[in-house]
Amino acid sequence: MLSSALSWRDTTMTSMVQMFLYIVVAVCVFTSLGRGAQDYQLSFYGLMAVARCSPVAVLVTHSGYVLNLHKTGWGVPSRAR
């Protein structure tokens, strides 16, 4: 935020609004939908499955892209290729 304030551009405010929507509003809406911890278990297990399987797919295929997402989007280091 400080960096954006120091080098303000025409698109900076748009980026700030998008960050607020994704980080604050989306999290508030998602967390208000569940009644207890059990309601979030399935999504947590899904996150864990994707976090384990997708980097393996990048390593096995020796490609920087899996499902049209670059390896840095999956969190695989560049040296893994």
Question: In which residue are the tokens 């390593």 written?
Answer: 59
Q: How far apart are CA 25 and CA 65, in angstroms?
A: 30
Structure tokens at 45: 């297990």
Tens-digit pLDDT string for the chain (81 aa): 777 778 888 888 888 899 899 899 988 998 888 888 898 899 899 989 988 888 788 788 887 777 777 766 665 555 544
Could you give the maximum distance between any two Cα atoms of the chain, in Å? 44
CB-based contacts of 64: which residues, under 8 Å, 6+ apart? 58, 70, 71, 81
Whole-number pLDDT of residue 80: 47
Where are the domains positioned within the chain? 1-33, 36-81
pTM score of the predicted model:
0.51
